[in-house]
Structure 1
């Protein structure tokens, strides 16, 4: 199947893209939801990783040489229930809290991708353990007639995931952000491979 890769800027989404290609799927383009310029880059949404967002365009256009589609995260975590049903209209209309759900930003981005690349049939993501993320991606895919590719689902051992990425040979991993004090120190570790 021809697919679009959802990239966050982290290792999981990039490795999931590589696994999708290795399973015989054809990568057509990449997509990314970025935080608004006024958003707290240290704060994570329920749905999206925002740290490293500024590096995604370079990953895609500079390293992969593929079309890149991006949109801004405008919504918030309106519907935080485990099971998400965007087809009900409540999340898009704002639910009880007002505003629209951030999942609908993904729907809008993928709708735009389909308009530009109608051959796309599937979406890859780096969701590993978050049922919250996986079910929302699957909901958006179902509404758009797409298949969700999640080859890393339930790869719970983060050390194994990291070892797989580093030992794979298909990825040149570069550390672009640290977020685990007192572990890695930015001056010493950023930019290291």
Structure 2
């Protein structure tokens, strides 16, 4: 099918887009919803300013939607962004959130679109292994749960990091994929990128037991 990808710039949206294309779907559009409120009901919010660099690296057209961050506005922003696109459905990186799944399905139903979710209800350990095997390279850009400290910001998600995430899961019962909002990520490379991206400007914000790496600029890595 011809699809649009709901794309936040995180590892899950990068991996789901890669899987959709591996399955033979044509995905010419990235749809990024930009909420005003960082505590959006539905969408990932950190570092959305970097998504244009990712779209350019993949040679895809970026379609922006806007929302206040409240539930109704999030859904309306998604609906308006998708209206008029010559697609049959959307691909999403949703894994376990019934809330997100239900809201996205409502919008798709209104527009007559199919919802493709390659990661939905899959075992999270298996997904993490498959994501790394596929060549997705991501870093942690937000930490919002007990057990994380500032040293996690900017940390690559690799085999060693996964071991540490599993240790945190054993102690604090987190999702190693960050599906409960424990952490947020940024995909610096996928097999769909023409070149790896590199963070050249960023600022750390940390308060008590949570914080965000605000990435100001991404550039293609020339090395």
TM-score by length of 1: 0.71
How many residues are aligned here?
156
Cα offset, 1:184, TM superposition:
5.7
8 Å Cα contact 1:75-1:103 kept in structure 2? no
User: Aligned residue for 1:148?
Assistant: 115
1:68 to 58, 62, 68: 62
Alpha carbons of structure 1 residues 182 and 129: separation in structure 2 relative to 1, 3 Å: closer
Counterpart check, 1:138 vs 2:105? yes
1:54 CA displacement: 2.3
Q: What is the CA–CA distance in structure 2 between the aligned matches of 1:75 and 1:181, rounded to whole Å?
A: 25
How much does 1:141 deviate?
1.1
Preserved contact between residue 6 and residue 123 of structure 1 (Cα < 8 Å): yes
Q: Is the 8 A contact 2:41 2:69 kept in 1?
A: no
Shift of 1:178: 3.2
Render the CA deviation track for 1:81-113: whole Å, top value 9, x for unaligned: xxxxxxxxxxxxxxxxxxx442111111111xx
Provide closer, same or farther for how the CA distance between residues 18 and 153 of structure 1 changes in structure 2, counting only shifts above 3 A.
same
Q: 1:165 to 1:52 in 2, by over 3 A?
A: farther
SS of 1:71's equivalent?
strand
Structure with the higher fraction of residues in strand conformation: 2
Which consecutive segments of 4 or more residues in structure 1 shift more than 3 A? 180-186
Describe the shift of the 1:75–1:189 C-alpha distance in structure 2 as closer, same or farther (beyond 3 A): closer
d(CA) in 1 for partners of 2:33, 2:73: 13
1:14/1:145 CA distance change after superposition, 3 Å:
same
Do 1:30 and 1:67's aligned partners in 2 also have CA atoms closer than 8 Å?
yes
Which of 107, 111, 116 is the equivalent residue of 2:79? 107
Gaps of 5+ in 2: 158-223
> 1:6 corresponds to which residue?
6
TM-score, with structure 2 as normaliser: 0.63
Post-superposition offset of 1:149:
0.5
